[in-house]
Amino acid sequence: MYRLIAKLAGSVLLLTLLAGCQSINSQTSGSNLISNSHFAASELVRKAGVALPPGASVIATSFVSIDSLESSSTLGRIVGEQVATGLADAGYRVIELKMRDRIFINAGAGEFMLSRELRHISNFHEAQAVAVGTYAVGTEYLYINTRLIDAGTNLVIASMDYRLPMNRDVRQLLRNSF
């Protein structure tokens, strides 16, 4: 009986230690901008389900500051690019706006998708959806929201919220705002 209790206690201790390792790994990977952006894209795909099947055309935009929807930063542009990579990896046809000559792109600021422009630009590029995002700067964290918007109805197909620690890389990427 004593051996059985000792084995159970040892198993509980081992599981507790393993759970602690998982927690540490999750916290470490939480600061990785690329993996978080790709995870956000995979969550959008998962949540969209049949509403946006693989192979659909998606426009990916630069993410913008929630405090200034007409401006972005190096961080906003790179997160938009990374989400686009995740969507392309999932089998979506991602339309690269920077390669197009008939869309307004504010030099240095990236491409933005304001609601009044959404339908016109999406129709022109024959996109079924648009990937958009905003970010808000906190003291300890950067809060990010990304959404897949139906290009025809402006309805949200899927959304994902996450946060990143305000480390040196994030602060540097935010310094270059346009």
Instruction: Please check the confidence at residue 169 and state whether its pLDDT lies above 80.
Output: yes
Query: Residue 135 corresponds to which tokens in the numbers above?
Result: 């970010």
User: Which of these, 118, 155, 101, 112, lies nearest to 134 by C-alpha position?
Assistant: 112
Global pTM? Answer: 0.72
Is 32-175 in CATH node 3.40.50.720? Answer: no
* Contact status, residue 174 vs residue 139, Cβ threshold 8 Å: no
Note the pLDDT tens digit of each residue in 6-64.
Answer: 343 333 333 333 333 332 233 334 468 999 999 999 999 999 999 999 999 999 988 99
What was the pLDDT predicted at 124?
A: 66
* Contact status, residue 135 vs residue 163, Cβ threshold 8 Å: no
Residue 90's pLDDT band (cuts 50, 70, 90):
very high
Quick one: DSSP state of residue 9?
H
